[in-house]
Structure 1
Amino acid sequence: MTLVLRFGRGDAARCRFAISPLQETMAALLVLKKPGRHGWYLPWLHDVRPVIARLDLGLLDAAAPSNGYGPDFLWPSPTGPLTTIEDDLAQVRATDPAVVAAELAEHVRRIDRHALRDDLHRVLTGDPVIARNTLVTQQRLAWQALVEPLWDRIRGLLDADITARARQLADSGLAGPFADLHRRATWKNEELHLTGFRHGTVDLRGRGLILVPTAFGWPNLGIGPTDDTSVTPPALVYPMLGAARLWEPATRSPAIARLLGSGRASVLAETLVPSTTVSLAHRVGLAPATVSEHLTVLREAGLVTAARRGREVLYRQTPLAAALLHPDPL
């Protein structure tokens, strides 16, 4: 089964990248449902399970199946690379009750009724405004418990993915970013072929395509909405580059600590993931002003680079820093 996205005049120019905190939250919830997806999630699972056990996420859990159909309104397409969790939740909260009712009814028809608690069934099939608002509340709780504590590190890697793929797009056109986007995505004849979805063709009709990298979505590929009549461009959610780095501990070489000093070496180690000054300060336990001074020296030495993201600046290791922190064995 192959879904084909057909690009026409103007669609390539309207392709853009976006980030969605809510997409990450929903993907993280699915990791909880299928914890064996990959070993690198295990430390995170160990940390969040006690927190999740204290929260009431029953309705959201029932509305987010591990496989198959799920209500589209719970996964809104992000508006851009600076989308916040409040932006995402506002989109869900603004969903037409008629759309909520229809999508939840379709969802309930597809799942095992005997596996659904009676109280949850009543909410899912009852007043759509109550169901929608309850789901938004539980999405916020899930975000706070599952993703927000890691968001700065996740966001740094998502930005790094976007930077790399935007460069591919500039250098090679659409064939560049689609070449290694996902094993189920193939670019040919001005069309993007996606295997494993319903068979059909979607004409983008000048809407373009939103490309959304994800940390928790590995190894899946997601697409929606795919309705030809929708004015909203489809969003293609794909695993970001270097997802395993999110869970790697920062390397603090004793030799580098002696060379640079303990504080500066710690700051350099944490820039494995592109990070802001405030985030680095929090992780290494130093004042933001002190971290800023360290970053200035590290930049002058060619060990970190700085890139602006909206009003923030992200710092990341250069290849020289990586070589110092991870020297090749003799």
Structure 2
Amino acid sequence: MALVLRFGRGDAARCRFAVSPLQETMTALLVLKNPGRHGWYPTWLRDVRRDLAGLDLRLLSVAAPSHGHGPDFLWPSPTSPLTTIEDDLAQVQATDPRIVTAQLAAHARRLASRTVPVDVYRALIGDPVTARDTLVAQQRLAWQALVAPLWDRMRGLLDADITSRSRQLADGGLEGLFAGLHQRAVWKNDELHLTGFQRGTVDLRGRGLVLVPTAFGWPNLGIGPTDDVSTTPPALVYPMLGAARLWEPATPPPVIIRLLGAGRASVLAETVIPSTTSGIAQRVDLAPATVSQHLAVLRDAGLVTPKRHGREVLYRQTPLAAALLRSDPLPSTEPYRSGDNGLSTRPGGRAIYD
């Protein structure tokens, strides 16, 4: 079975990338409900269970099933790589009550075979405005407990994925982009074939396609909305590159600690994922002012480079820093090249997200 996305005139030009904090929140909730999905979540699960104590997420948990289809309005299509959680929640809050009624009623019918607390079920099929507002409030609580502590690091990875995919798109067009996006996404004859979905055809009708990398959704592929009447472009949610790095500790080699000092080496190691000053400070347990000073020195040494991302500045390692942080020594026979700050790099010593 395959769902076919049919590209017409203007659709290729309207393909764009976006991120969604709410998408990650909802997917994290699914991981919480089914912790056996992947093997790298135990540490995260241990940490967030403490933060969830006392939170009432029952209605949201029932509205976001572990398997099958849930109400589409809870998963709005993001519009930009700079989307914030407030942008996402505002979209949900603005959902027409008639749409809320229809989608929650359809979801309630799908729950017929499940045991749902009476008060939660009544809330699901009751006043649509109250249900919508309750769901938005619970989404915000879920975001704060599940994703917000990770968001700076996560967004750095998402941004790196978009940079890499954008280059693929520029170099090889849609065919080059989809060739390595996901094994279930196949481009042929100006159509994108998504295997494993219910058979059907979606004419994009000039709406284009929103491409949304995800961390918590790894390794799955998602798509929506796919109805014929929606004016919203479908969002194709795909696993981001380097998802495992989100859970790996950024530990600098001992020789780099001796060279730079423990604090500055830790800051440098954290920039393997593009990050803000405050995000790094939180992860290395240093004052933001101290991290800012370390970053200034590392920038002057050519080890990190800043890049503005909306209102924030993200710092990322340069190829030189990636070479320094390699566990194996650099070969002494490599010739010096200008611009290397007196050090040479071997082919392949470039940063993963360069």
Normalising to structure 2: TM-score of the pair?
0.89
Cα distance, 1:328 vs structure 2: 2.8
2:33–2:66: 8 Å Cα contact kept in structure 1? yes
Work out whether 1:236 is the aligned partner of 2:236: yes
- Give 2:188's aligned residue: 188
Q: Deviations along 1:99-154, whole A, 9 cap, x unmatched?
A: 11111111111124441111111111111111111111110110010001111011
Distance 1:33 1:247 in 2: 19
Work out whether 1:200 is the aligned partner of 2:200: yes
- Give 1:25's aligned residue: 25
- Give 2:280's aligned residue: 280
Work out whether 1:318 is the aligned partner of 2:280: no
State which structure, 1 or 2, has the greater radius of gyration over its C-alpha atoms.
2
Distance 1:130 1:10 in 2: 40
Q: How does 1:1-330 map to 2 (within 5 A)?
A: 1-328=1-328
Cα 1:50/1:262, change in 2 over 3 Å: closer
Q: Secondary structure at the match of 1:36?
A: helix
Distance 2:142 2:258 in 1: 42
Cα distance, 1:75 vs structure 2: 0.3
Over the aligned positions, Cα root-mean-square deviation in angstroms equals 1.6
1:22–1:75: 8 Å Cα contact kept in structure 2? yes
Distance 1:90 1:99 in 2: 15
Structure 2 counterpart of 1:153, one-letter code: R
Cα distance, 1:181 vs structure 2: 1.2
Distance 2:114 2:12 in 1: 46
Structure 2 counterpart of 1:211, one-letter code: L
Structure 2 counterpart of 1:72, one-letter code: D
2:274–2:316: 8 Å Cα contact kept in structure 1? yes
2:253–2:327: 8 Å Cα contact kept in structure 1? no
Counting helix residues as a fraction of each chain, which structure ranks higher? 1
Structure 2 stretches lacking a partner, 5+ long = 331-354
Structure 2 counterpart of 1:168, one-letter code: Q
Cα distance, 1:329 vs structure 2: 7.6
Distance 2:145 2:286 in 1: 25
Distance 2:309 2:114 in 1: 48
Structure 2 counterpart of 1:191, one-letter code: E
- Give 2:347's aligned residue: none
1:18–1:211: 8 Å Cα contact kept in structure 2? yes
Structure 1 counterpart of 2:123, one-letter code: V
Q: Secondary structure at the match of 2:314?
A: strand
Q: What percentage of residue pairs aligned between the two structures are identical?
A: 77
Q: Deviations along 1:226-258, whole A, 9 cap, x unmatched?
A: 122211100111111101000000112221111
Q: Deviations along 1:14-41, whole A, 9 cap, x unmatched?
A: 1111111100000000001111111111
Structure 1 counterpart of 2:88, one-letter code: D
Normalising to structure 1: TM-score of the pair?
0.96
Cα distance, 1:188 vs structure 2: 1.1
Q: Secondary structure at the match of 1:39?
A: coil
Bigger shift: 208-217 or 296-305?
296-305
Distance 1:302 1:273 in 2: 16
Structure 1 counterpart of 2:180, one-letter code: D
Bigger shift: 74-83 or 48-57?
48-57
Distance 2:214 2:133 in 1: 25
Distance 1:230 1:114 in 2: 30
Distance 1:314 1:216 in 2: 22
* Residue-pair matches, total: 330
Structure 1 counterpart of 2:286, one-letter code: L
Distance 1:34 1:326 in 2: 36
Cα distance, 1:195 vs structure 2: 1.0
Cα distance, 1:327 vs structure 2: 2.0
Bigger shift: 155-164 or 273-282?
273-282
Q: Secondary structure at the match of 2:255?
A: helix
Structure 1 stretches lacking a partner, 5+ long = none
Structure 2 counterpart of 1:192, one-letter code: L
1:165–1:176: 8 Å Cα contact kept in structure 2? no
1:251–1:325: 8 Å Cα contact kept in structure 2? no
Structure 1 counterpart of 2:327, one-letter code: P
Distance 2:51 2:309 in 1: 31
Q: Secondary structure at the match of 1:192?
A: strand
Structure 1 counterpart of 2:119, one-letter code: D
Distance 1:178 1:302 in 2: 34
Distance 2:229 2:101 in 1: 20
Cα 1:104/1:183, change in 2 over 3 Å: same
Structure 2 counterpart of 1:204, one-letter code: L
